[in-house]
């Protein structure tokens, strides 16, 4: 082989590797993992989510929250889906999650088509992406190849980011998962869809930090609206209130606009605007003049890929569950 031929072959090899590089995400997962073993896997998940969404739109934020809660406990291994008296599903932060039936349905369809191939962890990661798209968000490529965990403990859900966490505590919890401050702001921005129970924020409406007064960061014109929805001596606190007032069903930047106006519902959400370290990213997502603008949709997808690769099980670690609600 002549020198020119060798150079041409090396260039071809380089181009081939370069073209494939964007598909490989590391951590043992990559985009198109099931392209040969179960080619219709992503379509099955997408069509299943869409079918359920059409009759019950609340499954969209439910699936997104579920993926987040799964990844922050033992990594993205679908341990949140396991039934049992003391599993993650029964932990206090997870009691109001919804969408389990969507994942069970998708798993059944995939087991019929490709038995023992597609993990529940991957189904959940794909379903979270599809839920965002159905509510108007931008799609992203989801690396797959995760395997399912065999351990699920309710006691470990206490490590999940909480609605009362300060920004410093939130940043610490995210950093422990390899996620930075921008990831934090982007991922919490997922609250642009969905609701929260009154019990999660009623304290800041009436007796913030035991002061007997409301949280001063709440817009005074917004406070009466929240109090009417969540009366001090009302029900058991289970009433649901939109986290993104006026746009709870659409994945957009309205959530950040509300933070700027002092209309964040959760204490931990409003803190994104009052804390200087996170406020900058909120401004960038809003395109505030003088700062480099960031596309929320684009950055959210990037942060979701990072989060979905947290402590994943791949190769021979874990298993491929036959049913998402129980280990094999």
Strand partners, 241: 196
Work out the number of other CB atoms within 10 angstroms of the CB of residue 312: 25
Distance CA 138, CA 155 (A): 35
Q: Is 313 helix (H, G, I), strand (E, B) or coil?
A: strand
8 Å CB contact between 49 and 41: no
Q: Is 248 helix (H, G, I), strand (E, B) or coil?
A: coil
Residue bearing tokens 């009691």: 95
The one-character DSSP state at 210 is G
- H helices within 74-166, ranges in order? 100-113, 120-134
Task: Say which of 27, 67, 69, 191 is annotated catalytic.
Answer: 69
Strand partners, 29: 26
69 is catalytic: yes
* Closest of 77, 143, 139, 78 to residue 104, by C-alpha: 78
Phi/psi for 268 (5° steps) reads -65, -30
Beta strands in 90-224 (DSSP E): 195-197
Positions marked catalytic: 69
């Amino acid at each position: 082989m002549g020198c020119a031929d060798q150079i041409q072959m090396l260039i071809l090899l380089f181009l081939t590797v370069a073209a494939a590089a964007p598909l490989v995400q590391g951590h043992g997962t990559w985009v198109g993992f099931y392209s040969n073993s179960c080619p219709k896997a992503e379509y099955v998940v997408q069509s299943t989510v869409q079918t359920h969404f059409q009759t019950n739109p609340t499954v969209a934020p439910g699936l997104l929250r579920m993926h987040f809660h799964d990844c922050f406990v033992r990594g993205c291994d679908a341990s949140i889906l396991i039934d049992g008296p003391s599993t993650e599903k029964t932990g206090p932060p997870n009691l109001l999650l919804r969408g389990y039936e969507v994942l069970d349905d998708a798993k059944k369809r995939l087991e019929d088509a490709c038995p023992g191939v597609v993990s529940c962890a991957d189904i959940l990661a794909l379903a979270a992406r599809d839920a965002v798209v159905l509510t108007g968000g931008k799609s992203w490529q989801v690396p797959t190849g995760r395997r399912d965990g065999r351990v699920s403990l309710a006691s470990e859900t206490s490590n999940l980011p909480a609605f009362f966490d300060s920004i410093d505590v939130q940043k610490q919890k995210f950093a422990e998962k390899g996620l930075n401050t921008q990831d934090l702001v982007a991922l919490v921005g997922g609250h642009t869809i969905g609701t929260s129970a009154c019990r999660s924020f009623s304290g800041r409406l009436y007796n913030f930090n035991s002061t007997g007064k409301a949280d001063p960061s709440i817009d005074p014109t917004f406070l009466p609206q929240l109090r009417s929805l969540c009366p001090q001596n009302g029900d058991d606190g289970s009433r649901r209130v939109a986290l993104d007032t006026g746009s709870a069903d659409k994945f957009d930047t309205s959530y950040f606009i509300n933070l700027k106006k002092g209309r964040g519902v959760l204490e931990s959400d409003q803190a994104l605007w009052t804390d200087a370290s996170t406020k900058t990213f909120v401004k960038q997502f809003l395109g505030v003049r003088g700062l480099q603008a960031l596309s929320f949709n684009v950055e959210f997808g990037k942060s979701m890929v990072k989060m979905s690769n947290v402590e994943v099980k791949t190769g021979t670690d874990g298993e491929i569950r036959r049913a998402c609600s129980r280990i094999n």
